[in-house]
Amino acid sequence: MNLPNQLTTGRLFITGLFVAVMSIPDKSLEAINLLDCRITIATILFLLASITDFLDGYIARKLNLVTDFGALMDPLVDKILTSSVFIILSKENVFPAWITITIIGREFLVTGLRLLASNQGSVLSADSLGKWKTTSQIIAATYFLIILGTKETALKKFEFINHPLIGNSLIFICITITIVSGASYLVRNIDLVKSG
C-alpha cells in the first residue's frame, strides 16, 4: 500500500477516534479529568484527518501514485469523515439537521453513481467542484466545532468568532456548493443512470 493510500486509511482510523471522543459520556470524562478538553481533542483529530485528505491527493498526483483504490476510497473516506462530524454537530444542536441530511443525501447520490460506474468496469474519481465542496464542509465543520468548544479552556479564546453572520455565511456557502456539486455530478454522469 503506497503512502497516499496509507494516509486515506489513516484518515478512516482518525475519524473513528473523533467519533469515539465525541461519544464518551460526560461522567466518564469527568472521572479521568478530560471533560474540559473533549471538544478540543476532537477538533484536533478532525483537523488532522482533514489535513490527510489534502495530503493524500497531493502526494498521489505529485509522485504519480494514483491507484484505483485511492480513486475509490479517498472520496468514500471523505464522506465518512464529513458525515460523522455533521451528524455529531447536529446532535449537539449547533448545526441545522436539515443541512446535515442534505449533505449526507448528496453523498449517497454520488456513492450510488460510483457503484453504477464500478458495475460497468469504470472508476469515477472526485472532480474539482467536489474538492471545493469538501473544503467548504471542512471549514464549516471546524468553525462549528470551535464554537461548540468555546466553553473549554483551550478554545475559550475563540469566542470572538461566534457571530450569526459568520455561521450563517458558512452554512450558506457549504450547502450551496454541496447541492451544486451533487447536481453537476449527476448531470455529467446521467448516462450511467440511463444505462443502469
Please tell me the predicted confidence (pLDDT) of residue 51. 95
Tens-place pLDDT, residues 41-66: 999 999 999 999 889 888 988 888 88
CA distance 78 to 81: 5
Q: Which domain holds residue 52?
A: 3-195
Query: Which CATH number covers residue 10?
Result: 1.20.120.1760
Is 2:114 a contact under the CB 8 Å cutoff? no
Tens-place pLDDT, residues 112-160: 887 887 777 776 666 788 889 989 999 999 999 999 999 888 889 999 9
- Residue 114 amino acid letter: R
Please state whether the predicted TM-score (pTM) of the whole model is above 0.85.
yes
Q: Give the sign of the dihedral formed by CA 67, CA 188, CA 110, CA 89.
A: positive
